[in-house]
Every structure is written in C-alpha cells, then in structure tokens.
Structure 1
C-alpha cells in the first residue's frame, strides 16, 4: 500500500554522514599548501570564512529541502523559483562545476600517488600538452572512476560511512599531535606584514571547493526520518562540523611546524605528519588523501548524472542524454559526456585553476539558491509549505546571496572570464534550444505576469521575453474511426490540459494511387464525406476541456505511414491513436520498426470505453513503463484516478528485493500515493488478474525484437485480447539499433 512507502530509514546521523562525506575530501588534503603560500596563517581564517558563506546557503537549502524534496537539489530549487532560464544556468553551472571539481580531485589523487610511490619522472609531452606525472596518474584515475560509474558498480552506504569515519579519525589524531606540538609563536604574525589581509578573500575563493556537496543531503529528504527536524540539522550541522575540522587541522599544522614546510606543497599534510608522528603518520595521511580524493571524485561524477536527469525531466537538455544502458542500467551517455569534460579540464588545467573554477560556478549557484528562497517566501505559491524556516529572514538569504556573488570578484580574472563564458553559454542554450521544449514556468515569472497591471513595465517585459514556449506541447490525434473519435480526443485533451498544450486533430484522407494529390485536394469532399464532420466534432470535444485545438486534413496515398510524417511536420510531442488491426505490441508497423525510430512519444488506445478512474501500470523498470507512469500521473491529476503499480518478480528474486525495487520506482516517478502490488509467476496471468479490478491498463511497449515476436508472439498482444478494460500502449521515443529491433 502507498502508506507503507512513506517509511523513513535515514536517521539524523546517516543524513549528517552524507553531508560530511561529500565535503571532507581533496580540499583539506591538497589545498593547504597553495593557501598558506598565498596568505600564511591567515589561510585558517579563509577556511572559516568559506564555511560561514556556505552556512548561510545551508540555511536556505534546508528550508527549500523541507518544502520541495525533489532530486536535482539546488538546480531544482532555482528552476522552480526563478524559471528555466536561471534553471539552465544553475543546471549547467552545477554540471560543469562538478566536472571541474572532479578534475581537481583526480589531480590531487595523482599528487598523492606520486608522493606515495616516489615517482620522479618529469613532464610528458602529449601532442601540444605537457603533462606532469600527477596529471597522467589523475587521467588514469578519472578513466577508472568514469568506467565504474558507467558500468554501475555501486558504493554501499556502509562503505561510505567507513570512509568518512576513517577520514575524520585520521584528521582527529593528526590534529591532536599538532596541538601537542603547537607553538603559538609560529602563528605570528597571523596577518602577513607584506600583504596584509588582501589575500584573505582570494584564498577563500580558492578553498571554497572544499565546501561543495552539503546541498546533496536535500536530494534524499524523502528518506530522512522527521525531515522537518533532521534535514536542517544534517545540512547545517555538516557545514559547521566540517568548517571546525578544517580550521583546527590547519591551525594545528601551522602552529606545529614552520610555515615554509606547508607553503606550495600539494601534499603538505603528509610532510607535517611525517615530522610530527613519523612514518606511520605519513602513511596514514597518504591513505587519507587517497581515500578523500577518490571518494570526492567518484561522488561528483555520480551527482552529475542526477543533475542531468532532473534537467532532462524538465527538457532543458535532451532526455536522450539520460537514456539508460540496457545492460548496466546507468545513464551511460550522461556519464560519458561528463567524463569527457573531466578529462578535458584535467589535461588543460592546474590545481589552482580547477579548484577556483569549481568554486566560482558553485558560488553562482549558491547565490541563485538564496535568491530562490526569497522568491518562494515572497510569492508564497500554494505548494510551498516548509517544515523549517530560515532564521533572521530576510537578512540571512540576502547576506548569503551577496557574499556568494561578491566572493567571485576576488578570484583570478581568467577563471572568472571562463566561468562567465559558461554562464552565457547556458543562457544561450536555454534561449536557442530549450525554450521551446520546456513548459515549466518559474514562480517568479508567474508572480510577475499574474500581477502585470501592478508591476513595473520592464519587469513584465523581461518575464515575458524569457518565459518558456514549451506550453505549446502538441498532442496529435490521427482520426479515422468516428466510433472512437470521442475517446481519443478525450484522452489527448486530458493530457494537453495538464501540459498546457494544444490538441492537433488530424484526419488523414487516403487518396487512391491512381489519383494525383493535387487533384484529390479539389475533390476531398467526394473522397471522404465524413472529414469535415469528424474534425468539427473533434474540435467541440477538445474545447470542452478548455484546451487549444487545431484541425487539419492531410491527403496522402498512404494512411498509417503518414501519421509519422505528419507528427514530424507538426512538431508533435505526443501522438494519441487508436489500436489498429495490425498492432503487435508497438506503435509502429513492422516495416517502420525496422527502418526508423518514432518521431515522438506515442499512446495507442485499445478502446473499450474511456474510463480513467482506476488505472493499472505494470512495470519492469523500462523506459516505456516509465512513460506509462508519467501518463498515469497526468490522468490521475485530471480525473483524480486511483493508480496501482504491479511488479511481477522472478522465481530467483526475493519478495524484499521486489518490494524495494517497486517502492523506489514509485518514488522516482512521483507515484508515491499509488497502490503497490507484487506478484510472482507468469507475467501475463498476473496482469490479467490485476486488470480485472481496473478500468484502464497502461502498459509499456514491448522491448522484444521483431523476430522473437514473429516466432513466439507478444505478451502485450495476448494481454490486450484477454482483459476487459481499455488498454493504453505507452511508447517513449528512443533510439534502438537494428540489432535491438530484430533481437531485442
């Protein structure tokens, strides 16, 4: 049952571990040398200041996380509050920022391997590049981590906890030795006399990459026990704890040894540990550095695919980028593209450039996140009901936004220019590519446009000029049989109404091959006397839903095949059509299946009376069943339907595994309120039995190859023939190779 899905299994300590584990990484193991060389003992204050800026954003992230517990984290909050233009900037900034950070982490990993193995070979010339030993080893590490994520090897929560505890333990012992050997005179003067406090803010920008990741806790908000209380504790507590650890480590180091030992040393903590503790200490810090850099790199690559998924769901990037690998079950294209960025940045960047670039892009995101909070508070959309509220509002988010953006100004001008270029590209990407594909308008635009008479004209003009055009979501309905026209239009209109879209009722009139189409156009009334009447009835039916409707007649020598060309010509996002006599478990006929791909998503209705009150969605986790879930969600919103999910487990799969899969699948597809059902045995029998209590069956198109269906038939065809309710075949547009089309 759906109420059983709501059980939370992440306690406050587990949630805190996620935040600490994503932050205690390469920053404290790699950056102290660079930071101390620039600012001396003042570098410890830079870590505190960086933590303070992160803390302000942590307050805002906590409130937004309890109000909108969705995957995508900061990207989702910015996109929902400020709209898809800023969502594109936040999404691309987060994506590219993580790629820069990952390149920095693997570079640090290379530095620690070089130190551990005593590698001494010099730069290697590769084409027009000169690569250090650390870069070459980092390149190998990057390819390894990319491959691990590509093939879907999973890091368990237990392993992550062990890594976090190990790192904290190593740093605690290290700090203890530093305190025991501390000489406060070594810290003087804290402010370099020749530089003053001028290096403080540039160094803060350099080390800010050490604070990336605390927002990731909000991505698992739905799994946290008592999230209104424990999520803010985990987000805010992780920043406070990590800031304290960083500051104590650096102060202990600088008080225990001469500053010169730390400055300009990428593995400074190892040298300090060697001097304070001996070989065992050096080995422990080397191990800690390797664990930290490896864990940070792997976690960043993993997080990037979640951002891409959220952007693809909002159509800010092509959903095809998130296509799941048929064997590994991973978003392999997304991981491969992210990996390409990581390798590129590693080859052309140095430690300082990589860390500051990651910092700048995330500072942009954190600034926007604080603004997003202000927008949600002031606009007060109906769905915004956080369990936690930021203290000292509006001072806290305003200060968080100002400091995040202001810190950027103190970072290297070349890095700022590079990141501005990425921001501009992200904005252009939205305006040129994504604007006519996404339909989700931000709360800010809604607030301004709904009060256009009260708002300044420039604000209204700006909101209008960048609002998404994806509201013209086009649902094409090819009409042929008057008996089923009403139900097809009803289905299409319900979906278009939920997507703020348009219904395109299309009557394809088949002209005999012997008749020229130009001649047929003059005699369309004679060729099909029902055309005008059919389209007029379709218009009336669609208008009862209050949706925009277009009608058109297409003359063609073909009938079924013309549907695909018409969908391409009309830029249809979805085609809703009737179940033809040649249906075989997929929307296209066998020739079209072999020769091409669908031009858009398809729904094929086996009409036994349109009734969406009780919907059954069987799933095995494929892309078409995911599309079926999206359709069920739209129909449920339109008709207040009861939705049931069915999973048929294999004999070698335990009930607990099946239940865990179905609960996660329901959550991933926003069907937490659905009734969950798990059967065992023959899928056809199980679906038929479950469908007896439902009015509509939404089933994903078969992934069987054509040859196997010709020889053995299709489960979908068999089920469709035996169930009494209407059947809706859902088929998502995605590429399949010729081999997959033939053999599955």
Structure 2
C-alpha cells in the first residue's frame, strides 16, 4: 500500500492549525455573538478556548499513538468501533466542508468593500484554486499556509496594537447584562472558532516527528489563538459604539475604519481574505483525508484511498471533497448549514474525549508518546461541557446533527457492516468491566447455597420424572444439609367448592408421599412431601413458597406449542411473581450427571446458573464445561471471553473447561445436564425459542430465573448483550 510522505514540520503544523482557526471565528462571528451576549462576548471567546482544551489534549494524545491520516475518524473508529467511526468520519467530513464553504462565502463581503464583484462566482473561483493546490501536494499546501498565516497575523497584530489606544471604557458598560444564558449561548456559537485546532491531526501521517510536533502544534496554536481572539474582540468592542457592529458582515473592518482610517481598512480586508482562504484551504486539506482513511479501513469505496504516483496525494478523495465544497457554495444556504455542522463538531469533540478513555481502559495496543494530564477528569469535563454547549445551538442545529447521524448509520448498515467485523476499544473495555462485575457477583453467590427447595409438581408426571426433580433439588441443598419439599399441586374448577371432601387423600396421594419421603435415605437429605388443592395453581405455588420461605422453586417446564406459549403457561406467572429463585426443568431424566454444561449466548454466565452447575457437579463428582459461541466473535472478543472464563474457572471448586461451539448446531459431545440463564423477554422466548438452548443438547436443561431483587436491570442486560 502506498504511504503519504512525511514532509510537514512544526512550522507547517502551527500554520495549518492557526490558519484553520483564524477565519470566520474572528472576522464573521463577533458581530453575531455581540447580539447575543453584548460586551461579554470577550469572556465567551476565552471560555470557548478553555472548553476546547480537553479535546485538544485528547486528540494530541491519540495523534501521537496513531499518527495516521484521518484524525478524528481514526481515533473514534479505533476507540468506539466502526459504527461511531462512520458517524464521526462522515459527519466531520461534511462539517469541515461546510466550514470551508462558509469561510469563502464569508470572506467575499470584505473583498466587496474594495471591488464590486459577484459573491458566488468569486467564491467558486477561489475554491477551484485551493482544490488544485491540494491536488498538487501537501508540501505546497503547508508552505502556502505559512505564507498566508504570516501575512494575516501581521495585519491583525497591527490592527490590535494600533487600535488599542482608542479603546473607550464606556463601551464595556453593562458587561453581563445578557446574563449567564447569553454568555453560554455566545460561547456555543463562537466555540466553532476553535474547531480547527485539531485539524492537523487529520494529516498526522504526513507530519515529521509526530510525537513532538503534533502536541506542540495543537496546544501551542490553541494558546496563541485564544489570546489573539480575546485581544482582538476586546479591542473591537472597546473602539466601537455599543451595538454599532452587531450584525455587521464586516465587523473588524468597521472597527479599523474608526481607529486606523482607510489604510487600516485595507489591511483588515487583506487579513480577512487571507484568513478565510486559509480556513478553506486547511478545510480541504484535512477533510479530504477523512474519506481517504475511511476507504483504507473499508468504510468507504477503495478508490478513495488511491494515492497518485505522480503527485503523491489522494486525488480522488480531494476531488470528491472539492466537488462537495463547490456544490455547497453554489446551491446551499451555507451559513445555516455551517451552524448545523458546528453542532456536530461539538458532539464529535465529546466523542474524542470518550475515545481516550476507551483506549486507556481497553485491551487494544495503545502507546502514545504524549499523554493527557489529569486523566480521566479532563475527558469527563470535556464531555459534559460539550453536551452543555450542544444544548445552546438550538433545535435546528440539533435536528441537523441528528440527520447527519442517521445518514451515517444508514451508510454503515448498507455498506460498511457487510465488509467490516472490527470492534472498538470501548466495546472491549466495557465488556471487561461487565465481566469483572459478573465475576464479583458470582464470587459472592457461591457461598449462598439454598437451605430449602420447593419441588412444585404442577403436571401429571410419572415417577421417574418426579424422582429426577427431587434428585436435582437434593443436590442443591446437600452442601448446607438443607431440606427438599416436594408438593403436588392439584387444581379444581372454580365452581367446585374447596371443602374437606376436596382435601381427602387418595391412594395416589398416599403413594406419592410414601415414595417421596423414602427418598430421604437415598439422597442423604431431608425430603418432605405434601399436596395442595386450589382453584389457581400458580397462585398456590407462589403463596406456598412465600409462607414457607423457601430459597428456590424447582418445576418442570416442557416445550409447549406456540398457541400454549402465547396464551401463557402458569409456571411463567410463577417466574415473574415468585419471592425466590425459580429453576425450570426440561426434564429428560437426571441420573448422576457428570458433565454439566453452562451455556450462554448473550452475556456473562448468570451467578445463579453458575451456583446451580457447581452444586450439581460437586454432588456427583463431575465437572463443568463452559459453552460459548465461537462464530460470533472478533479476536478481541474471543480474547476477553477466554480471560473471563479462566477467572471464573479459578473460583469454582470443581474441574472446569471452556468449549467454543458453533451456533449452527455443532457441539463437542452430549452433556448430562445443561444449565442456562432464562430469557429476559418471555414473549420473545415464546415466539422464537422452541428449544431455548443453542445447540439442542439432547439432555435435561435447567433454565434459571433469579428472584426479582437479584435480576439485573434492563440497561445492564442490554449492555451485556451488546458487549458479550
């Protein structure tokens, strides 16, 4: 694969970053922000610069760890996964294109102060020249940025120094009249003035000595630009009458005319045009690298990652970006679109801070030369303030950000997902934390063996099935010398009264009690037998369990036909309302099981399932096999699951081995007993899960449902499903 040439030094990095910021942020936005916050716009610029620091630190760190073309996309894709990477890549690409178009269209009003020219044709001509420059090569781009930034800063410096003596303190009166709401709204608006600070990271692959030059370039340009912005805005407010520049298309020129005369106006016009051209130039340079990087990772068509043999630049990617820029200038109300893109940029900055956390906490290889100080508090601060500023952008901007996000998600599912199977460091970090939490719960539950288990016989079962259920319950209570209560529940019609005649024992009842209580000697635990007659079996089971205070209910739950499942099996009601754990048994026999399988396909193993499997294995001198699907995993997934299973094995007192199985029906061998977690959604289970185990084990299956107080909340289970 062809690589981009590393030929951008520190001076070029500073020029690209400063040139990307000093544009619409100082020549266009002050007039709009003045209408919102009044003189407090000065504080708004300082506050916005401060709030950019977390993203600047985070991006500097990740850029030194991954000095690759693509910048934001690379970091979020590697940290948060291909889906969020696609959103960040597509959204930031459009965002930078929008800002470049805004910079060109916004610069023309300054030019019109000297020449009577049509706005759009001039903007289109400038855009075409910049696109051609970027096609020629990054070295020429970097050198052009240096020239532009030097001339621009000289003009702005002269304006600031020359106008400072004319500042009138009266112009700062009623400084905070707009209140905190106005200040925050203005901060949200001018925040985009600093968005270019991290643009240099998107050409990190072309930077010499990235471990040094990238952090110095990003942080140095941010500090310099913040001071410059505050100084210029303070002078602009101080030399003009209150409200005289609010809403103006050329606010800096208005201020220069009052202090420096016509020569000052010409200098400001020159600086404005150069600044806005440099913003557009840096926008084309960096935004074109997003489709380039996405293409290399198969998130975009492969033609976008082709590098020209003659020019050494990604011509197709630059051409596509340039075409979008020209279309925006020609046909789209660019100011509104730029505001929408700015809202998305704030959201991306918040994602950048989260990506650093994902890399540091995950297992992916991550070795930055520069590390952000005060981790993770800086990242948390940046994320929270980013969300806060996003709320200040208005409903239209938020709706636009949502639209870009939805379009990116659509592209991901239509194009990316069939081609990419990677996952982000965040997914692995969350999976590891979920696994650690699950292991902690398992460790605490292993000492909680049930003291009394109710075997609820709700169907006409033969003696062999009754024997199997009692044997299972006996294995559960044996560690703590507990008791098994086997109860036959009989339901009579509602119209039949519950009289003494209904409770008279039949010969079948006496036979049941006799053979059941005789099992005490066979199993070595106390076994008690009883019969309950009621109008409603499910209520009778729950009431008996509550009055007796049993720890678990064991009952049969054979596969039912679809109609019966939709109408509802009474034992399902027991699961939802029981005051204790419930174990539902698909009963194919229980005869001294040696090989017990723990099966799970959507999360870590349930602590109750682990407890049941260990108790049965210990009572019968057997071992546990940990089943997990082999064909649903990335390499990171498999590695984390293996470590999780290894730690779980060390906790158990019986032999344990892990086995990967195929979800298409393959399995190593037939187990004696399988234990699994019950479905969270009984309706889904009823409709789609005729045999709720993968693959069908051909043996008795125990499906466990912990009592309500021990069931994980819905959000936790969804997180387990997504990550495991």
TM bin, normalised by shorter chain, reads 0.5 to 0.7
State TM-score, norm by structure 2. Answer: 0.57
2:719 — aligned with what?
A: none
1:224, distance to aligned residue in structure 2 (A): 5.9
1:366, distance to aligned residue in structure 2 (A): 0.8
1:14, distance to aligned residue in structure 2 (A): 4.7
Instruction: Name which of 115, 118, 121 aligns with 1:117.
Output: 115
1:40 — aligned with what?
A: 38
Paired with 1:114 and 1:86, the residues of 2 have a C-alpha distance of 42
Which segment is superposed worse, 81-90 or 222-231? 222-231
Paired with 1:470 and 1:303, the residues of 2 have a C-alpha distance of 34
Q: 1:231 to 1:321 in 2, by over 3 A?
A: closer
Q: Indicate whether 1:180 and 2:165 are aligned.
A: yes
5 Å-filtered alignment, 1:65-76, equals 65-76=63-74
1:145 — aligned with what?
A: 130
1:246, distance to aligned residue in structure 2 (A): 0.6
Instruction: Name which of 191, 200, 220 aligns with 1:208.
Output: 191
1:50 — aligned with what?
A: 48
1:28, distance to aligned residue in structure 2 (A): 0.9
Q: 1:320 to 1:227 in 2, by over 3 A?
A: closer
Q: CA contact under 8 A between 2:46 and 2:226: conserved in structure 1?
A: yes
Paired with 1:75 and 1:145, the residues of 2 have a C-alpha distance of 23
Q: Indicate whether 1:292 and 2:290 are aligned.
A: no
Which segment is superposed worse, 27-36 or 210-219? 210-219
2:529 — aligned with what?
A: none
Q: Secondary structure at the match of 1:197?
A: helix
Paired with 1:331 and 1:225, the residues of 2 have a C-alpha distance of 19
2:220 — aligned with what?
A: 237
Which runs of no fewer than 5 residues in structure 1 stay unpaired? Answer: 120-132, 462-467, 473-545, 549-744
Q: CA contact under 8 A between 1:105 and 1:296: conserved in structure 2?
A: yes
Q: CA contact under 8 A between 1:113 and 1:137: conserved in structure 2?
A: no
Paired with 1:241 and 1:358, the residues of 2 have a C-alpha distance of 25
5 Å-filtered alignment, 1:276-355, equals 276-324=259-307, 330-347=313-330, 349-350=332-333, 352-355=335-338
Paired with 1:354 and 1:44, the residues of 2 have a C-alpha distance of 25
Q: CA contact under 8 A between 1:178 and 1:255: conserved in structure 2?
A: no
1:29, distance to aligned residue in structure 2 (A): 1.4
1:298, distance to aligned residue in structure 2 (A): 1.9
Paired with 1:321 and 1:209, the residues of 2 have a C-alpha distance of 28
1:196 — aligned with what?
A: 179
1:199, distance to aligned residue in structure 2 (A): 2.3
Paired with 2:241 and 2:435, the residues of 1 have a C-alpha distance of 66
1:250, distance to aligned residue in structure 2 (A): 0.5
1:86, distance to aligned residue in structure 2 (A): 0.7
Paired with 1:351 and 1:37, the residues of 2 have a C-alpha distance of 20
Paired with 2:601 and 2:267, the residues of 1 have a C-alpha distance of 60
Paired with 2:69 and 2:19, the residues of 1 have a C-alpha distance of 19
Paired with 1:298 and 1:18, the residues of 2 have a C-alpha distance of 9
2:359 — aligned with what?
A: 376
Q: CA contact under 8 A between 1:206 and 1:411: conserved in structure 2?
A: yes
5 Å-filtered alignment, 1:480-629, equals none
1:459, distance to aligned residue in structure 2 (A): 9.5
Q: CA contact under 8 A between 1:142 and 1:343: conserved in structure 2?
A: yes
Q: Indicate whether 1:170 and 2:155 are aligned.
A: yes
Q: Secondary structure at the match of 1:198?
A: helix
1:469, distance to aligned residue in structure 2 (A): 9.1
Paired with 2:307 and 2:141, the residues of 1 have a C-alpha distance of 21
2:79 — aligned with what?
A: 81
1:73, distance to aligned residue in structure 2 (A): 1.1
1:21 — aligned with what?
A: 19
Q: Secondary structure at the match of 1:66?
A: helix
Q: CA contact under 8 A between 2:12 and 2:143: conserved in structure 1?
A: no
Q: 1:99 to 1:459 in 2, by over 3 A?
A: farther
Q: CA contact under 8 A between 1:187 and 1:255: conserved in structure 2?
A: yes
Paired with 1:205 and 1:281, the residues of 2 have a C-alpha distance of 30
Q: CA contact under 8 A between 2:81 and 2:424: conserved in structure 1?
A: yes
Larger radius of gyration: 2
Q: CA contact under 8 A between 1:438 and 1:469: conserved in structure 2?
A: no
Q: CA offsets per residue over residues 216-273 of structure 1, 9 Å max, x none?
A: 3334556767654553232112111101101100001111121333211111111211
2:546 — aligned with what?
A: none
Paired with 2:152 and 2:359, the residues of 1 have a C-alpha distance of 38
Q: CA contact under 8 A between 2:256 and 2:268: conserved in structure 1?
A: yes
5 Å-filtered alignment, 1:383-422, equals 383-422=365-404
Paired with 1:305 and 1:6, the residues of 2 have a C-alpha distance of 13
Q: CA contact under 8 A between 1:50 and 1:204: conserved in structure 2?
A: yes
Paired with 1:116 and 1:291, the residues of 2 have a C-alpha distance of 15
1:453, distance to aligned residue in structure 2 (A): 4.4
1:288, distance to aligned residue in structure 2 (A): 0.7
Q: 1:388 to 1:437 in 2, by over 3 A?
A: same
Q: CA contact under 8 A between 2:23 and 2:279: conserved in structure 1?
A: yes
Paired with 2:208 and 2:85, the residues of 1 have a C-alpha distance of 29
Q: CA contact under 8 A between 1:56 and 1:399: conserved in structure 2?
A: yes
Instruction: Name which of 416, 421, 435 aligns with 1:434.
Output: 416
2:104 — aligned with what?
A: 106
1:196, distance to aligned residue in structure 2 (A): 2.8
1:153, distance to aligned residue in structure 2 (A): 9.2
Q: CA offsets per residue over residues 332-383 of structure 1, 9 Å max, x none?
A: 44334323433443345546424322311211211111000011122253x2
Q: CA contact under 8 A between 1:85 and 1:430: conserved in structure 2?
A: yes
Instruction: Name which of 427, 431, 450 aligns with 1:445.
Output: 427
Paired with 1:363 and 1:87, the residues of 2 have a C-alpha distance of 15
Q: CA contact under 8 A between 1:322 and 1:334: conserved in structure 2?
A: yes
Question: How many residues of Structure 1 are paired with residues of Structure 2 in the alignment?
Answer: 451
Paired with 2:201 and 2:311, the residues of 1 have a C-alpha distance of 27
Give the CA RMSD over aligned residues: 3.5
Q: CA contact under 8 A between 1:262 and 1:268: conserved in structure 2?
A: yes
Q: Secondary structure at the match of 1:91?
A: helix
Q: CA offsets per residue over residues 74-122 of structure 1, 9 Å max, x none?
A: 2111111111011001101110101110121111122222222145xxx
Paired with 2:16 and 2:317, the residues of 1 have a C-alpha distance of 23
Q: CA offsets per residue over residues 627-673 of structure 1, 9 Å max, x none?
A: xxxxxxxxxxxxxxxxxxxxxxxxxxxxxxxxxxxxxxxxxxxxxxx
1:702 — aligned with what?
A: none
Q: CA contact under 8 A between 1:448 and 1:460: conserved in structure 2?
A: no
Q: 1:11 to 1:325 in 2, by over 3 A?
A: closer
Paired with 1:79 and 1:66, the residues of 2 have a C-alpha distance of 16
Q: Indicate whether 1:358 and 2:356 are aligned.
A: no
Instruction: Name which of 239, 251, 275 aligns with 1:256.
Output: 239
